[in-house]
Amino acid sequence: MIVPGKITVVGAGHVGSHCAMALAFAGVVSEVVLTDIDGVKAQAQAWDVADALSFPPSSCRVRAGTIEDCFDAEIVVIAVGEARRPGQTRLDMLDNSLHMLQGLLHQLRAHPVAGLVITITNPADIVADFVRRGLGLPRHRVFGTGTLLDTARLVRLLSEQTGVARADIQAWVLGEHGDSSMVAFSQVRIGGRGFEAWEDLDPRALVVQTRRTGMDIVEGKASTEFGIGQALAVLCGAIVNDERRVFPLSVALEGEYGVTGFHAGVPCLVGKSGIQSVIEVPLTPDERAQFQASCEVLQTYVHRAHAFGSLPGGSHG
């Protein structure tokens, strides 16, 4: 039984708490529950967010809960994990993330999760794949935020460099949420014009800046939190309200883009049931090669995660 309007965030650190804050302030749902292995911290974060909702007044209820609050939530957000350190790639975080997740998956398998599961733990694509397999759920119900934040960063850069409002820019970052991500420049539209119409834009520099932004933030303040919180809130709002919007998300590919068997960031149509379809945008031969190269990186690490899951105490499924 799903409780409509309830989102449970697992992990009450920087990312999880800011996701809860963004969800509550956006009025996406009527109840946001924070749960963490450190129950005292989850309670403190819930109180802090709830206090903020008095300015301006909000009817959203924010509270601390337990793992049982995952079983009937409309959406479960998995935000467990350590903060990324300066110089550390997202892929470097894999082993620690899997160790943290195996205990959580053991708890979640004890009772069927009724709603959708969205993962934001890094490395995003491998974790999404690991959790989906571990829970034994179909791809439309378990997926990651993937390249949604990368795309937001690209749109910001394009807006800053062209002077065109972000709302009038369409762009996609595809593949890994990480250093092998690629930009489908053939699909970029800035104020209705194709990328090639903007002669002052440097595509190579844009790719480097888009990939680098996360680390620049980590080196400057030790964590990223606000961007992913807002990205998650917008995504959850589209799901809860069945808006049928298209977002680049980390979903299990089943032949789309020539890839089968693991997660990668691609445009997806999203609604009440989660991933309603994968959108295959036309890519140039060079872009397709870049996407395949990114997927090869992901596949290597997915195989590592599979091996981890086969170890005693690991996640099976």
Q: Could you list the active site residues? A: 177
**What angle is formed at CA 100 by the lines to CA 270 and CA 16, rounded to 5 degrees?**
50
Distance between CA atoms of residues 255 and 106, nearest Å: 30
Alpha carbons within 13 A on the beta-carbon side of 155 = 21
| CB environment 29-49: b (16+ within 10 A), e (fewer) | bbbbbbbbeeeebbbbbbeeb
* 165 DSSP 8-state letter: -
Pairing of strands 142-144, 173-174: unpaired
Residues 6+ apart with CB under 8 A from 280: 256, 257, 266
User: What region does 244 belong to: left with phi over 0, alpha with psi -120 to 50, or beta?
Assistant: left
C-alpha dihedral sign at 228, 230, 234, 240: positive
Q: Does residue 86 have a cis peptide bond before it, meaning omega lies within 30 degrees of 0?
A: no
271 strand-pairing partners: 274
CB atoms within 10 A of CB 136: 11
Q: Give the residue carrying structure tokens 């980590």.
A: 218
- Helix boundaries (H) for the chain: 14-26, 39-52, 94-108, 124-135, 148-162, 203-221, 226-240, 285-309
Distances (CA, A) of 238 to 28, 40, 141, 173, 200: 9, 32, 14, 20, 35
32 strand-pairing partners: 7, 62
